[in-house]
Structure 1
């Protein structure tokens, strides 16, 4: 009986510890005008969906500790956000840009206008914090502009 119990423990304990090694990340996604962004996909490796935001823009995901990059992708009206997590980051709060159409201007000028909007996102994050929508004053991730 002791050998069966010992064998059972040897099999079960590694699986329990492997589950405990996952990283639990909670967060919220808002648009530029600080409205909730419902049903936004959170992906790793550009294709594996690990979660979605609820109707209030909140999400909770479990990812392996080796994953550092998340893709926040909205269907239709949200531009994709590629973010690189910092090691101490367990609360991810993201402001995403809505897609815009730029008629009768060059692609270069449209890209400049999008980049100008992108540079205002940290101020939107701070405003969301001051209104009580976000818990952190500054983002705990790195984000670069991708045209």
Structure 2
């Protein structure tokens, strides 16, 4: 699985003008399932996200995890993270997981975050979404499980 994490002071996702998911201070996680990913991959990624020290401690250093900071997460499916731009000017997305399996893994990832104690909301898989965020820092981290 591939994920792009953004530390945010707030984030929300809308479908047809209605908010379907949001978070306060915490992480916006754009996530893409890749061929070869499994439910174990989703759990491994969630564990990594939960432990990354991306939040400031009292001294202003990035020493706290989302769990330690009490932050929440907004998880949004983003198959374009699998873009292949090596040929021509139009990205290819054959590196993304098949939609049925990808949706299940996306939901398993979000549930794994919840199971770890992180308040987590999601977007709507496969929908045309509008994502708004206020990046805090900015802090943006790329994660790749390397399962593919």
TM-score range, shorter chain: under 0.3
TM-score by length of 1: 0.28
Structure with the larger RCO, 1 or 2 (CA within 8 Å, 6+ apart): 2
